[in-house]
Amino acid sequence: MDALLHQVLAGLATGGIYASLALALVMIYQATHLVNFAQGEMAMFTTYIAWSLIQAGVPYWPAFFLTIGFAFVLGVALEYFVIRPVERAPVLAVVVVFIALLLILNSVTGWIYTYTIKTFPSPFPAQPVFGAYLSSHEAGAIGITLVVLALLYCFFRFTPLGLAMRAAAQNPESSRLVGIRVGWMLALGWGLAAAVGSVAGMMVAPIVYLDPNMMGGVLLYAFAAALVGGIDNPWGAVIGGFVVGVLENVLGAFVIGNELKLSVALVIIIGVLLVRPSGFFGRVHVTRV
């Protein structure tokens, strides 16, 4: 029983990692109706920027907020210079551009910073919470993810800007007619998603160590989490992240062993999608002919 509890808590900790990146994925989906495969690498890259700042002597919290700002600018710049030129292209072509971004960011980071792992500091104190089961950083990271979630939810639900962004993504033509600057909305969406991603990266790095391939595996599970929870629902994404994390750990430890953990976890996800094709909390889309 003790072991089960331990695995569940460890699963919540890793689930928190997936949830935070899934949030960024949902963010960009809500703004652009596209899944950005480069989200993980953007998060990783901005975390390296934070690391450089801290190495240069900047204290943690100023570096944290500076990095969020930098990530926002990076996101906007990427949308304006890299994504906008292919706006009119078929969806898959845009996906290819995302993949290219992933490759470029990963490769360039490896080149600049080498592949040796680096420690990334945590703002939380070192004592563990819940006995030895959950470190205070892991608990703190979950907390921060929930705070970001709440902020995002309020932003999209209750602010006019958030509404404008959702409108721009859902129906660009009508939005333009109503006076919404669709181009700006898209850029803003990218900026926000990059900022959320950078928070995810800075929370993840102390747990998994900072290296260029840090986010590869996380993106996989975050993608699954976002879709299982419903790609257009930030709450769903976070819950999905925790579910995926706990499922993965418990399955691997007690049910199927680590050798098939990946396959079984993903099969279960497909099973969920078969029962609820739009994810647990996603909105079912009604298409008219």
Partner 1 sequence: MKTTVIVGAIAAALALPAAAQKKYDPGASDSEIKIGNTNPYSGPASAYGQIGKAIAAYFKMVNDQGGINGRKVNFVSYDDGYSPPKTVEMARKLVEQDQVLFLFQTLGTPSNTAIHKYMNNMKVPQLNVATGASKWNDPKNFKWTMGWQPNYHTEGMIYAKHILQTKPNAKIGILYQNDDYGKDYLKGMEDGLGDKARSMIVSKVSYEVSDPTVDSQIVQLQASGADVFFNITTPKFAAQAIRKAYDIGWKPVQYLNNVSISVGSVLTPAGLDKSVGLITAAYLKEPTDARWASDKGLEPFREFMKKYMPDANIADNFNIYGYTVGGTLAAALKQCGDDLTRENVMRQSANLKSLRLDTLLPGILITTTPSDYAPLEAVQLQRFNGKQWELFGDVMQSH
Partner 2 sequence: MKKTWILWAILIIVACALPFMVSNYRTFQFTLVLVYAIALLGLNILTGYNGQISLGHGAFYALGAYCAAMLMDQAGAPYWLTVPAAGAACLVAGFLFGLPALRLEGLYLALATFALGVAMPQLLKFHAVEKWTGGVQGITVLKPSPPAFLAEAGIKLNPDQWLYFFTLAITAVMFILGWNLVRGRVGRALVAVRDQHIAAEAMGINNALYKSLAFGVSAMFTGVAGALGAIAVQFVAPDSFNIFLSIVFLVGIVVGGLASIPGALYGALFIQFVPNIADEISKAAPWAIFGVFMIAFVYLMPTGVAGAMRLLTTRRKAP
Binding site for partner 1 (CB under 8 A): 2-3, 6-7, 10-11, 13-14, 17, 107, 110, 114-119, 128, 132-133, 135, 204, 207-209, 211-214, 216-218, 220-221, 248-249, 252-253, 257-259, 262
Given the complex with partner 1, which of 94 and 104 has the nearer CB atom? 104
Q: Which of 5, 108, 147, 154 binds partner 2 (CB under 8 A)?
A: 108
Look at residue 132 and give the partner it binds from partner 2, partner 1, none, a contact being a CB closer than 5 to 8 Å depending on partner kind. Answer: partner 1
Q: Which residue matches tokens 């890299």?
A: 82
Tokens of residue 14, six digits: 């890793």
Tokens of residue 150, six digits: 């709440």
- Quote the strand ranges of 63-212, DSSP E: 128-129, 134-135
Q: Which of 86, 150, 151, 255 binds partner 2 (CB under 8 A)?
A: 86
Look at residue 115 and give the partner it binds from partner 1, partner 2, none, a contact being a CB closer than 5 to 8 Å depending on partner kind. Answer: partner 1
| 187-222 as b/e: b if 16+ CB within 10 A | bbbbbbbbbbbbbbbbbbbbbbebbbebbeebbbbb
Interior angle at CA 242, CA 238 and CA 246, nearest 5: 170
Look at residue 227 and give the partner it binds from partner 2, partner 1, none, a contact being a CB closer than 5 to 8 Å depending on partner kind. Answer: partner 2
Query: Do residues 254 and 233 lie in contact, with contact meaning Cβ atoms separated by under 8 Å?
Result: no
Q: Using the rule CB under 8 A, is 147 a contact of partner 2? A: no
**Hey, how many other C-beta atoms are within 10 angstroms of the C-beta on 124?**
18
d(CA 231, CA 235): 10
Q: Using the rule CB under 8 A, is 255 a contact of partner 2? A: no
Q: In the complex, what is the shortest distance from the CB of residue 187 to partner 2, in angstroms, rounded to a whole number? A: 18
Look at residue 248 and give the partner it binds from partner 2, partner 1, none, a contact being a CB closer than 5 to 8 Å depending on partner kind. Answer: partner 1
Look at residue 96 and give the partner it binds from partner 1, partner 2, none, a contact being a CB closer than 5 to 8 Å depending on partner kind. Answer: partner 2
